[in-house]
Structure 1
Amino acid sequence: MSSAPRDPLISDPGAFIRAHIRTVPDWPEAGVMFRDITPLLANPKVFRVLIDQFVHRYFSPRPDVVAGLDARGFIIGSVLAYELGVSFVPIRKKGKLPFTTVEETYELEYGSATVEIHTDAVKPGDRVVLIDDLIATGGTMMAGRRLLERLGAQVIEGAAIVDLPELGGSQRLRDSGLPLFTLVDFEGH
């Protein structure tokens, strides 16, 4: 019995995923190398490999909740929550949620921002995976973690597709006690 030829890059899912991330120089400002994940989403095979990496990571033990950071964390987080059969919670930019919220303001590489979560989004004791597309300075993930913990949840791990270690965010998050799982690192920013 013959089998279909295997894509050699899929034997290394990180390399396969990395090969499908587009780098856009000088965006949103000069000197920045923007890591664009939209090609990962556009290719069904690549998207499946990407999601499977997170599903395998969190299948056992499963979190109670997956929280996604606005906006690309919604894409990965909602699919992950669906695949795991757990709740999904969005952490949104200020002014986007219609119910009672708590908010957290943080600094990012291009200024500051505020994120919010509904006050009833998680229950005390919920075990949460917090997910985004990329870790740069770590401000967004740190703010999301603080919001979840203010509501009594336990953030068991932060997760992202891309880490930009030179910007110090992943180290800052680890130093705060948050375990991290990322799929690929890129030098520079």
Structure 2
Amino acid sequence: MFEKLKISLIEAPIIKKGDYNYFVHPITDGVPLVDPDVLKEAAEGIKKFGNLNVDKIVCVEAMGIHIATALSIITGIPFVVIRKRQYGLEGEVAVHQITGYSHGELYINGLKKGDKIILVDDVVSTGGTMIAVLKAMEKMGIEIVDVFAIVEKGEGKYIVEGETGFEVKSLVKVNVVDGKVQIEGSRDEN
């Protein structure tokens, strides 16, 4: 299961951003080319292993958008994008996030108290974005039913779980060793 995703991750190039080993992959970066079969495999994995008893799928701009879109198409559940751009809409909530390689503001629109959601993202590595978004949504009174990242790298999953109390599910766990992506496990092996 997830063979195309695994192969594409193993073949992903690695670049350094300071001390951070960053793998460049179509699901996590949109380059060099997004294979629809890999994207479909990822969306079907979330559908199979995620709790989709929700009103909305929520993702964070930019690399969660294609995942949420694919998941929305196969489930019929609408999705909301947490944006990096402020719109000034009524009820908009600003969230400050810090990752292993950047920081900035995110803006939540289209969610209200009582909404039941699944948060989907491309990768959890440092946990900075997920922690900020989960805490903000919880403060807004949103019912977070499930949290899902396609790829788990490093200790980010455990950091998010420790800081928020929410379990973070993933399809594939990877690490970068000697400049290459190594698959350390996948949901189909659990």
Q: TM-score interval w.r.t. the shorter chain?
A: 0.7 to 0.9
* Identity across the alignment (%): 23
Contact 2:15/2:21 (<8 A) preserved: yes
Q: CA RMSD in A?
A: 2.4
**1:57 pairs with 2:49:** yes
- Return the alpha-carbon distance in structure 2 between the equivalents of residues 91 and 61 of structure 1: 19
Contact 2:151/2:171 (<8 A) preserved: yes
- Structure 1 segments, 4+ long, off by >6 Å, are none
Q: Deviations over 1:126-164 (max 9, x none)?
A: 221111101111111111112222321111221111111
Code of the aligned partner of 2:7:
A
The normalised TM-score by structure 2 is 0.78
Q: How does 1:102-181 map to 2 (within 5 A)?
A: 102-118=93-109, 121-165=110-154, 168-175=155-162, 176-181=164-169
Greater RCO structure (CA 8 Å; 6+ sep):
2
- Work out which of the residue numbers 58, 65, 89 in structure 2 matches 1:99: 89
- Work out which of the residue numbers 65, 72, 75 in structure 1 matches 2:63: 72
Contact 1:66/1:78 (<8 A) preserved: no
Structure 1 unaligned regions, length at least 5: 1-11
The normalised TM-score by structure 1 is 0.79
The alpha-carbon deviation at position 57 of structure 1 amounts to: 2.5
- Return the alpha-carbon distance in structure 2 between the equivalents of residues 45 and 110 of structure 1: 29
- Work out which of the residue numbers 13, 20, 32 in structure 1 matches 2:8: 20
Match of 1:83 in 2: 74
State which structure, 1 or 2, has the greater radius of gyration over its C-alpha atoms.
Answer: 1
- Return the alpha-carbon distance in structure 2 between the equivalents of residues 41 and 53 of structure 1: 20
